[in-house]
Amino acid sequence: MPMIKPVLSLSNITKTFGRVLANDQVSLDLFPGEIVALLGENGAGKTTLMSILFGHYLADQGEILVRGKALAQGSPRAALSAGVGMVHQHFTLAGNMSVLDNVILGTEPLWGLKTRRRKACKKLEGLMKQFGLKVDPHAQVSALSVGEQQRVEILKVLYRDASILILDEPTAVLTPQEADHLFATLNQLVKGGLSIIFITHKMREVMAASHRCVVLRQGRVVHETPTRDTSPEDLARHMVGQEVEKKARQKLIPGNEVLSLKNISLSGTAGKTGLEHLDLDLRGSEILGIAGVSGNGQSLLADIICGMTLPDKGDILVHGSPMAGPSPGAMVRAGLGRVPDDRTSTGLIADMNLMENMASETYKKMPFSRFGLLNFKAMEKETATRVKHFDVRCPGLNTVVRNLSGGNMQKLILARELSGKPGIILANQPTWGLDVGATAYVHDRLLEAAQNGAGVILISEDLDELFLVADRIQVMSQGHLSPAMDIDDVDREALGLIMAGQGETHAH
């Protein structure tokens, strides 16, 4: 766009954290009415760069211009005043307040609020009409759907007269229909004069919604292209620095039933969704996908399968035998390998090293112990073998786990859980927050386990992931679990309706 001046210019932005170079001479322009997708592996510097733009961090060097004027760095207030607004991946709304109160919070003085609310409501309703963001201004935020809450976050930014919008993983908690509505909204926003940068790992969204792509790798801009001139495979190659090979899902002949949940119910607590009359059957050599928007009971389901929580009623059968009051230890002994959704809290012990974490679940068994004593030589040898096989990149086996990247933490969990060749694998959000390369690696390992006869339950909020690797799929919605469907017999729209608590599944 040689004849059009950019609304935003980041020039030679550099930022270090100790010895880590997060951004290295990064330059990026954003033009009027443009949607730019900012891509890169975990740790590539995307969030750091946007945090510098919004004033959360101060760059070590470099300059930011908004409409040709220098932006004072290190001040979110200065960024807002210059028309830069940011919608974070995790919402920052007060659930016990109305939509209107959330939108005007921080923009009005405490006194005289009553007379200004009328004017504020009129402005808010005008923004809703202009950009197609329909929400009841007087509704309590806690009563809104996740998609509606995201509209409120965007309205908060628009209310402050932002003309440059930053979105960090904007569809992470949305159903497909809500994601489609969001991108229709973004198109309305750019037609209305806004310019948008969004961070995402979802290539389908990049191709559908952006005009231009900028790829960061190791803190530097390594690729920039109009979206129409690229492909998901090309972008992934630039993100990782090499070709990303994906193992295709093969239609396998299912084996015997390895896990069954019969009429499982569990009361919800502290406002959280409970579970009602769940039925689930998992067979060997298959991947059963569990879809659903966060907060619909998936965590409770995972806890029950792992033996962390006992249901109020219902039966759990492993290889046809009932489990009476199952515990985590009992489920591990019964052949369950678990990949939990929280790597650092429940998946690993962050302050222990790789060897200690590798032995943490089976330290009483060979090769990690002998005659009741830990065998440290065997621990070191076994850990070294597994770390090499699963490509866990670390300075050494004595490295404290909290110093690993998210992708390497996940590989360490996979190395521990899959090396014992479990017959049942529970993978709960296994690629959350991972980049393209690490995600492909996790998928390959799960597909490999299914090919070797394991039954895999994959709980994911990412439908692209489920369509890529699952054989059958069930949907969690408001504590209910839909009947299982063959992945080849359902479409994205049908699943999205069930995820939103509406409609029935239609075969095609």
- Amino acid identity of residue 328, one-letter, is P
pLDDT for the residue 62: 95
Q: How many angstroms separate the Cα of 8 from the Cα of each of 2, 32, 47, 63, 300?
A: 14, 9, 17, 11, 45
Q: Is the pLDDT of residue 360 over 70?
A: yes
How, if at all, do strands 455-459 and 286-291 pair?
A: parallel
Strand blocks (E) in 89-210: 164-168, 195-199
Length of the chain: 508
258-344+405-499 sits in which CATH class? alpha beta
CA geometry: angle at 461 spanning 251 and 335, to 5°? 60
Q: Please, which pLDDT band fits residue 83 given cuts at 50, 70 and 90?
A: very high
Residue 56's contacts (CB-CB under 8 Å, 6 or more residues apart) are 76
pLDDT for the residue 344: 75
Query: Which stretch of 115-124, 229-238, 415-424 has the lowest confidence by average pLDDT?
Result: 115-124
pLDDT for the residue 90: 66
In this chain, the answer to whether the domains covering 8-240 and 258-344+405-499 adopt an identical fold is yes
Q: Is the pLDDT of residue 423 over 90?
A: yes
Q: Which helix (H) or strand (E) holds 483?
A: none
| Mean local confidence (pLDDT), 372-391 | 85
Q: What tens digit of pLDDT does each residue of 236-253 get?
A: 899 888 877 766 678 889
Q: What tens digit of pLDDT does each residue of 151-210 get?
A: 898 899 889 888 999 988 777 666 677 778 888 888 888 988 899 999 887 888 899 899
Q: Taking the domains of the chain in order of start, what are their residue ranges? A: 8-240, 258-344+405-499
Q: Please, which pLDDT band fits residue 366 given cuts at 50, 70 and 90?
A: low
Residue 51's contacts (CB-CB under 8 Å, 6 or more residues apart) are 57
- Higher pLDDT among residues 376 and 313, named by residue: 313
> How many Cα neighbours within 13 Å face the side chain of 162?
27
pLDDT for the residue 15: 94
Could you tell me the fold of the domain covering 8-240?
Rossmann fold (3.40.50)
pLDDT for the residue 508: 36
Q: What tens digit of pLDDT does each residue of 86-134 get?
A: 887 667 888 889 999 999 887 766 555 555 788 889 999 998 888 878 8
Report the 10 Å Cβ neighbour count for 150. Answer: 26
